[in-house]
Chains A and B, each alone.
Chain A
Amino acid sequence: MNVPTEHLLILAAVLFSLGALGFLLRRNLIVILASVELMLNAANLTFLAGARAHSSVGPLNLDGPIFALFVILVAACEAALGLALVIAFYRQKQSVDIEAAAELRG
């Protein structure tokens, strides 16, 4: 059961970058939101890896899991609101293409 902390962090890094790429490169709003969720998950993983590393050399570190819990909570709220915005956006533009949201061009 020995998972070296570094590997966890590398995994988190890879997931985060993939999420970032998706966030920047895709045009579909849904996919963009999904990428954001991916990034949040990667951050969660980082927190937990850190808590684990701290606990193994010092006192029991519960801040990591607590923070990750709150991140999940906030991610839930954000996803809900984001999707509500997607719906509202779809009603206006009949599309979920982000290029349609270019009215502030100037």
Chain B
Amino acid sequence: MASPLFYALSAIAILCALGVVIARNPMQSVLNLLGSFVALAAIYLLSGFQFLAAAQILVYAGAIMVLFIFVVMLLNLTDREEGQPILMGLFNGRVIGSLAVFAGLAVSGLISTTGNFAAVDASAHGGDLDNMESLAGVLFSKYMLPFEAASLLLLATLVGVMLLAKRERSGSQGGGQA
């Protein structure tokens, strides 16, 4: 049962990736990316990485893609651009959106059948691969340093983004120039 699902999901992922590369409109491109992310999350789930699937949806699909779409709309890039390679009319936003919905349904379907995907391969371990407990245990002991560094990285990103995206002020207000 899982195997055909896997191939279907991977087909979706690949097609969406193709769409990212080929799409004329940057908006289309971004939406295709979204679809690809969702498909990948489903694949993670299929492989037994529950937490990571959730993280993928939350961070990638939820935050990063939103940011992309936000910027595309801010800069008003939704119109077509000139002189692009291969245009396939198939890969416009509607088709993609539907494919994304389908992927989401598949994910929810999978989640609803939780019991069926304990360890994917007959693992010698009783516990799951992506058990929250075990992950947390490792994260806060062995990978404590990267964890803390990551928080610094986020802080730096915060500051950097604020500085970069600031609108230049014309006039005598000298402080806070980007």
Q: Which residues of A contact B (CB under 8 A)?
A: 1-3, 7-8, 11, 14-15, 18-19, 21-22, 25-28, 30-31, 33-35, 37-38, 41, 44-45, 48-49, 51-52, 55-56, 59-60, 62, 65-66, 68-70, 72-77, 79-81, 83-88, 90-91, 96-97
Contact = CB atoms under 8 A, between A and B. Distances in A.
Contact of B125 (A11, A19, A55, A69): A55
Contacts of A35: 20-21
B121 A48 contact: no
Interface of B: 1-3, 6, 10, 13-14, 17-18, 20-21, 23, 26, 29-30, 33, 36-37, 40, 43-44, 46-49, 51-52, 55-56, 59-60, 63-64, 67-68, 71-72, 74-75, 77, 81, 84-85, 116-117, 120-125, 127, 129-130, 134-135, 138-139, 143, 146, 150, 153-154, 156-157, 160-161, 164-165, 167-168, 178
Nearest to B85: A25
A77 to B, nearest CB: 4
Contacts of B123: 55-56, 60
Contact of A38 (B33, B47, B157): B33
B6 A60 contact: no
Nearest to B29: A31
Per DSSP, chain B at the interface is helix
A7 B89 CA distance: 30
B64 A30 contact: no
B150 A75 contact: no
Given A2-B121, A65-B49, A68-B52, A15 B14 contact: yes
A39 to B, nearest CB: 10
B29 A80 contact: no
Contacts of A60: 123, 125, 127, 129, 134
Contacts of A84: 160-161, 164-165
B64 A87 contact: no
Contacts of B10: 7, 11
A79 B153 contact: no
18 contacts: A1-B1, A2-B121, A11-B13, A15-B13, A22-B21, A28-B29, A52-B121, A56-B123, A60-B123, A60-B127, A60-B129, A65-B49, A65-B130, A72-B59, A75-B64, A87-B71, A87-B74, A87-B165
Given A2-B120, A52-B120, A72-B60, A18 B20 contact: yes
Contacts of B36: 15, 38, 41
B167 to A, nearest CB: 8
